[in-house]
Structure 1
Amino acid sequence: MKVIHIIGRFGGTGGAERSLQNLITAKRKKGYTQYVIGLQKAGVDNESIKQSGIKLYELETYKLSDAIISIFKLAKLIRKIDPDVIQSWMYYADLFSIISLYISGKRKKVRLFWGIRCSNLNLSEYTLKLRLVVRLCKYFSHLPDGIVANSFSGKDYHINNLGYKNKNWIVIYNGIDIDKYKHDPIARIKLRKKLNISEDKIVISHVARVDPMKDHQTLLNSARDFPDITFILIGKGTEKLESTENVLKLGERDDVNELLSASDLFILTSKYGEGFSNAISEAMASELSVITTDTGDTKHILENTGSIFPVGNVKSLSALISHYISYDKETLKKLGAISRDRIESNFSLDVMIKEFDQLYKNQLNSERIKITHIINSLYPGGAEVMLHNIFSKYDEKKYSVNVISLISDGPLKNDIEKKGVSVFESNIKPDRLNIFSFLKLIYYIRKNKPDIIQTWLYHSNIIGGVAGKLCGVKKIIWSIHASHLDTEFTKYTTRLIIKIGALVSNIIPNNIVYVSKVSFLLHKLLGYKCKINTVIPNGVDLEKFKPDTLARINIRNELKIPEDTFLIGIAGRYDPMKDHRNFLLAASKLSKVEPSAAYIMCGTSITKSNQELYDYIEELGLSDKVYLLGYREDMNKIYAALDIVAVTSRYGEAFPMVVCESMACGTPCVVTDVGDSSYIVDKTGFTVEKENSDALVEAFLKISNKNKIEKQKLSSSCRERISSLFSLQSIVSAYEKNYY
């Protein structure tokens, strides 16, 4: 396999340059040839690069005329080398790579991956040239085969803020050469002697080129508070910074690892832009404690090591420096050892190399499986939210996914598209089939040529399943997210679709995925008879849904609810199956016993403009106790603010997401015995008879009357149960098993 790496300037001290050098100099099996093309002359490691045997080509792009000529030179090199893969690194290289690849005539043969190395950029602080390049990259961002980001924050920023449209994002963290970056006592003595620094002197280092994002000024301002400490600034342009007596400005160096060994503490002051900071990781590998701002994925790198201060806050930075220098040398050494353990365990060079190699091999050896998901609408509901969530955990190296929504304008459409997944709206009303809209659906399926169609909910199972069969799709998977349906409230067309589904359940789908055991058993009685049936419950994103004290405070402050108020909530669209009237009746009865209790109601149409709902609230005398919040996108914060979440459904629920998400936030649930609600809650909450307001009140009081320690234990057990059984990653893995 031949791989070309294209970068602005190879061999510099920047994070991207060091990551690339580590990647291409690593030992590999035969049959793997790599080339490097620099858009500018190589940096401080120029000679060592040439001696290493790396095939390095250098272009000139300083002037516009040189840049235009270099585009054609790069195209010529691509034709000459004839690579299998091109990996570009950062904006200029990304732009040059896509233009030159098309000019070369090799686009159909060569796989191109762009490289994103930063997160939230303040582009107003950069040159017009860079701003233009970033805009052009956004315009062309759908063209590469994939984009490799070195942080999740970088990926999210480029999708949500810059508007990148690529569907295939891969996050590969930088890898640190832990054999090179380690504490070296001999290098420490040598460098301190060379720099005329005594052993008993505290030395604090900072590694970053001079750039608006790096905010050297904050460090220099703080350094003035510590005249007895020596600060070392390393990086291109630092030699030109303002003079300060206790600051050594060393410029760009090729002995950063030795300079880190000569240090006692490391600081990074970046204002924005960091994705995965090599500087922080290398300092940690060198057994240094780190003080840094919270940019990019910094918190994830540090985890429980080091300290974070607010961007640009000199006072906070100085306070943290004072804190660390109060430790004796032995304590600093122990803290440094913990930092190194973190890097060795999670961010080694070997891990990064394997992930890059696997990415390239996957792209060359096999095509990604194409999956089309068809769903009734993208208005928030259990199935719709689950579909939205799984896209964040899909293995993007294996799957290419898109969505067809039968109904248009669902609010989840934009959220799904931000994940790089295209959404097609067929404008089919499930209860009134339009032949022209159905033909549009068939056209889109044939154009996309999916390997698998997965349909969600009854109407999509039939409409999407029939369309898939007509298009010759070999594998069709149905998803059923309902259990018992009350004939009094369920539409005739829905009941008819369910009966038709039973009749064709052994003809259309290859597999039916049920969201709960109760749902599977019920549909078996209804006559569903597919050969392969799988039960896969809903999963929860445990990184998003978690206990959050700050969110609890903020939500209560927003609604002007005191911290000691016992707060009960219900979440779900306004629908007879949710039985909001029973919840409100229970609230009315509880208020006579607990007059200070308050109630939150969330969901589509749960607002004061819903006259039927609001009239009932006033009838019960609850208008000063009930907060109608409508549809909220911050339900993770709402759940964290509650003391109890109630699910009072009278029918229809199979595996309610509300229960799982609130429990993941550490909030206990009181549920009616519908679907798998009781199984989810188990002993962490209470299950009551449906349509029984007295039973609800009794369960609310059992939780309310617990003491603080008992409530904390109950909260922990809620989180632990969801984490062990219903994590989103494990559920997505279960879905993926059905694709083979």
Structure 2
Amino acid sequence: MSNGDSRNDHRIRLCLLVSSLEFGGAERQVVTLARSFDHDRVTAVVCSLSEKVPLAASLPHREQSLRIVRKWGRFDFTTVFRVARLLRRNRTDVVHAFLFDAEIVARLAALIARVPVVVASERNTDYTRPLLHRAALWLTEPLFDVMIANSQAGKRFNMRTLGLSESRIEVVHNGVDVEHFRPDAAAGGAFRRKLNIPADDRVMGMVGSFKRQKAHDAFLRTAARVRGQMPRTWFLIVGDVLRENLTESNRYKEEIKALAESLGLADRCLFLESQKDMKAVYNACDLTVLLSTREGTPNVLLEAMACGVPVIASDVADNAIIVLDKVTGYVVPKNDEATPAEHAVELLGDPAKRKEMGAAAREHVRLEYSINTATEKMEKVYRTYLGRKHRYVSARRWRSISVKARTSS
């Protein structure tokens, strides 16, 4: 990626457009980004297409930094014009969209409002898009300037499925607030007491919303193996059902609860909704496990490691990049329950190794995946494409002047 125009150093007026601000990886990353940009260089406004905004509570100066343009139905095209009005009123330089509904609205609204730079996103990989989504993305593909994927796997996925060129996709892995997500034994201990978990018992956690790609069933089968060898282990499953697919997500959650019962884990497996203080959740765990069948860059792995908690993750997407195998945790084959159970038993039974891996995990995230690193990379992308647009507009103006001069002579 080129550096763009070095003179393009004015404060960027940024709109982060998202479908909602419910508890999800993309939504949490939007809020974290909005909080973390250098406000002397980037002024960020978050715009949600839904009134469901529980994560907005952590936005600073919410009345200035949050706008809600409610999408009234699946085919509410007025949303495009209402968002365009907001973009024009804010004199937006860059609109960066997250999640499908927001992607399409951003592309069309930016065209109407003449926003210089439109940024698309990819937060997942290896999924099947509905036919309507494929058509909408194909038709609006010329309307965005650059896509930012949060994984190399996501970049390859969009090159393969949408035919995008390599140069049109930048990769910026998720970042976490390492000042907030940090080791905190007191918070972890208090959370354990709240759940009536004895201080000497071990805790293995999983954080993830209830969608099948998160493979809660693999976590539970791993947990059953662990409990067979370490009966004083508790298992936490923390996450919410998906509002946008409520029926299926609720059905899946009930299946997982039934599986926990059938595996004999009901008395030791606790199902919790996403917590306001997720730092306390991670610090209550001795290790966390995520055995997804597909991912982008999971925030939950980075957050756990930032809290000094070792992780076990399936080898999908960029997990093998963000988790240093045998250093910050373990990367295991997808659809394998025996290997993660072996590693979990090893770590739960070895406090010294947990401490060593946890410290390495914290340092790795601090150096490579802090939110400051992510926002610096994001800003660089924004300025690069703003610089290209400015140079293009200037060249077009000079060509116009030249043509007029030749015509008049």
TM category, shorter? 0.7 to 0.9
Contact residue 601 and residue 628 of structure 1 kept, 8 A: yes
1:308-347 equivalence runs, <5 A:
none
Q: Distance in 2 between matches of 1:502 and 1:694?
A: 42
Match of 2:343 in 1: 699
Counterpart residue number, 2:106: 464
Match of 1:454 in 2: 96
Amino acid at match of 2:214: K
Q: What does residue 387 of structure 2 align with?
A: none
1:664 CA displacement: 0.6
Equivalent residue of 1:386, what SS? helix
The 1-side partners of 2:190 and 2:61 are apart by: 27
Check whether the contact 1:503–1:527 (CA below 8 A) recurs between aligned residues: no
For residue 511 of structure 1, what is the amino acid of its counterpart?
A: V
Residue deviations 1:703-733 (CA, integer Å, cap 9, x gap): 2243x33222111111111111111111111
After TM superposition, the structure 1 = structure 2 runs for residues 94-109 of structure 1, keeping only pairs within 5 Å, are none
Q: What does residue 662 of structure 1 align with?
A: 304
Give how far 1:511 is off. 1.4
* Residue 176 of structure 2 is aligned to residue 540 of structure 1: yes
Q: 2:200 aligned with 1:556, yes or no?
A: no
Q: Residue 302 of structure 1 corresponds to which residue in structure 2?
A: none
Q: Which residue of 1 aligns with 2:397?
A: none
- 1:251-400 aligned within 5 A: 368-400=11-43
One-letter amino acid of the counterpart of residue 400, structure 1: T
Secondary structure of the residue aligned to 1:563 is coil
Determine the C-alpha separation between the residues in 1 that align with 2:306 and 2:44: 28
Bigger relative contact order, structure 1 or 2, given CA contacts below 8 A and separation 6+? 2
Q: Give 1:514's match in structure 2, choosing from 146, 149, 174.
A: 149
Rounded Cα–Cα distance in structure 1 between residues aligned with 2:239 and 2:150 = 21
Q: Indicate whether 1:523 and 2:167 are aligned.
A: no
CA distance in 2, matches of 1:382, 1:621: 31
More helix by share: 2
Q: Deviations over 1:361-384 (max 9, x none)?
A: xxxxx9632111111111121111
State the superposition RMSD in angstroms: 2.3
Are 1:673 and 2:345 counterparts? no
Matched residue count: 365
Separation in 1, partners of 2:363, 2:51: 38
* Cα displacement string for residues 171-198 of structure 1 (whole angstroms, at most 9, x for unaligned residues): xxxxxxxxxxxxxxxxxxxxxxxxxxxx
| Preserved CA contact (<8 Å) 1:369 1:400 | yes
Shift of 1:508: 1.4
Q: Compute the TM-score of the two structures, normalised by the length of structure 2.
A: 0.83
Matched position secondary structure for 2:266 = coil
Gaps of 5+ in 1: 1-365
Does the 8 A contact of 1:391 with 1:419 survive in 2? no
Q: Secondary structure at the match of 1:392?
A: helix
Partner of 1:739: 382
Q: 1:608 deviation in Å? A: 11
- Aligned position for 1:423: 66
Question: Structure 1 residue 403 and structure 2 residue 54: aligned?
Answer: no
CA displacement at 1:555 relative to structure 2: 1.3
Q: Structure 1 residues 499 and 685 mapped into 2: Cα distance closer, same or farther (>3 Å)?
A: farther
Q: Distance in 1 between matches of 2:143 and 2:46?
A: 19
Name the aligned partner's letter for residue 265 of structure 2.
L
Q: TM-score, normalised by structure 1?
A: 0.47
Work out whether 1:445 is the aligned partner of 2:87.
yes
Aligned to 2:372: 729
Match in the other structure for 1:333: none
2:124 counterpart SS class: coil
What CA distance in whole angstroms lies between the structure 1 residues aligned with 2:354 and 2:77? Answer: 56
What residue in structure 1 maps to residue 117 of structure 2?
Answer: 475
Letter in 1 for 2:225: K
Cα deviation per residue 1:128-171 (whole Å; 9 max; x = unaligned)? Answer: xxxxxxxxxxxxxxxxxxxxxxxxxxxxxxxxxxxxxxxxxxxx
2:208 maps to amino acid: G
Residues 541-577 of structure 1, C-alpha deviations (whole Å, 9 max, x = no match): 1111111111121111111111221210001111111
Structure 2 contact 16–47 (Cα < 8 Å) conserved: yes
One-letter code of the match for 2:362? R
- Residue number among 585, 589, 602 corresponding to 2:238 in the alignment: 602
Distance 1:434 1:511, change over 3 A: same
Within 2, Cα distance between the matches of 1:579 and 1:467? 37
Q: State the match for 1:589 in structure 2.
A: 225
Distance change >3 Å, CA 407–CA 558, structure 1 → 2: same
Letter in 2 for 1:627: L
**Cα distance, 1:672 vs structure 2:** 1.0
Distance 1:661 1:584 in 2: 22
The one of 548, 569, 574 aligned to 2:205: 569
Shift of 1:499: 5.4
Give the 3 Å change call, closer, same or farther, for CA 385–572 of structure 1 in structure 2.
same
1:413-472 per-residue CA deviation (whole Å, 9 max, x = no partner) reads 333254564322222268x22123333223222322211111113332222112111221
Gaps in structure 2 of 5+ consecutive residues: 1-8, 243-248, 384-409
Q: Distance in 1 between matches of 2:239 and 2:318?
A: 21
CA contact (8 A) 2:118 2:144 kept: yes
